[in-house]
Amino acid sequence: MEPVARVSGRMAPLDRADVDTDQIIPKQFLKRIERTGFGPFLFYDWRANGDFVLDRPEHKGAAVLLTGENFGCGSSREHAAWAIRDAGYHAIVAPSFADIFVANCFKTGILAVTLPPRQVRHLIDLATEDPATEVTVDLEAQQVRGDGFTYRFEVDAFAREMLLNGLDEITLVERQASAIEAFEAQRSEYFPTVR
């Protein structure tokens, strides 16, 4: 994977809590067998209803998605993260994320960053009042920065390392081959195999 250190750009405010993965990428678009090409179907139903905030001209081309708590709840579909990335959002800032979704974001190279609700609210207000406002989500410094503010965020140290260095996690695990073999050797006899 390409290393990811920071994302800079305008913000798109999706001011809703509990956005589930069925909204992010509806099921009829899960039939592709590739990891790409999901962008046009992001929030498909909401966009079809018209005047969807992310489609407003002033928010086109934004790089940072702002949203409410528990973003990405529901299904494990990584397609949700792929669709967000394909649509040009390389960072998401929210008060909280669903567990599987946030893991999927890091694997996809999206910076999914948690800030306190008050700070997210500030960013949403900024993006709404002046959509041209730019911010930087800096993984290295663990900061979301803009004109006149710097917000620090915590992030899983290991996920950060992986992203900053563009490491392939499978390669890292493969280096533990001897530990894996030792573990396999002591597994109980009665553990089933599917044969």
Partner 1 sequence: MPKTLAQKLWDAHVVRSTPDEPDLLYVDLHLVHEVTSPQAFEGLRLAGRHVRRPDLTVATMDHNVPTRGGVRAADDLSRKQMEVLAENCRREGIPLHQIGSRRQGIVHVIGPELGLTQPGMLIVCGDSHTSTHGAFGALAFGIGTSEVEMVLATQCLPQNRLRDLAVTVDGELPLGVTAKDVVLGLIGRTGISQGQGHLVEYRGSTIRGLSMEGRMTVCNMSIEWGAKAGMVAPDDTTFKYVEGRPHAPKGEEWEAALDHWRSLRSDPEAVFDQEISIDAGRLEPHVTWGTNPGQVAPVTGRVPSPHSDTDERALRYMDLKPGTPFADIAIDRVFIGSCTNARLEDLRAAARVIAGKHVHSKVRAMVVPGSTSVKKAAEDEGLDAVFKAAGFEWRNAGCSMCLGMNPDILAPGERCASTSNRNFEGRQGSGGRTHLMSPPMAAAAAITGHLIDVRELL
Please count the CA atoms within 13 angstroms of the CA of 38 that sit on its side-chain side.
27
Binding mask 135-174 for partner 1 (x = CB under 8 A): ---------------------xxx----------xx--xx
103 is a site residue for partner 1 (CB under 8 A): yes
Instruction: State the nearest-atom distance from the C-beta of 177 to partner 1, in Å.
Output: 9
Cα gap 143→147, rounded to integer Å: 13
Q: Count residues near partner 1 (CB under 8 A).
A: 55
Beta strand ranges found along the chain (DSSP E): 6-14, 64-67, 91-94, 111-114, 134-138, 143-146, 149-152
Let me know how long the chain is.
195
Contact positions vs partner 1 (CB under 8 A)? 16-18, 20, 22-23, 26-28, 30-35, 45, 69-70, 73-79, 81, 96, 98-100, 103-104, 107-108, 156-158, 169-170, 173-174, 176, 179-180, 183-184, 187-195
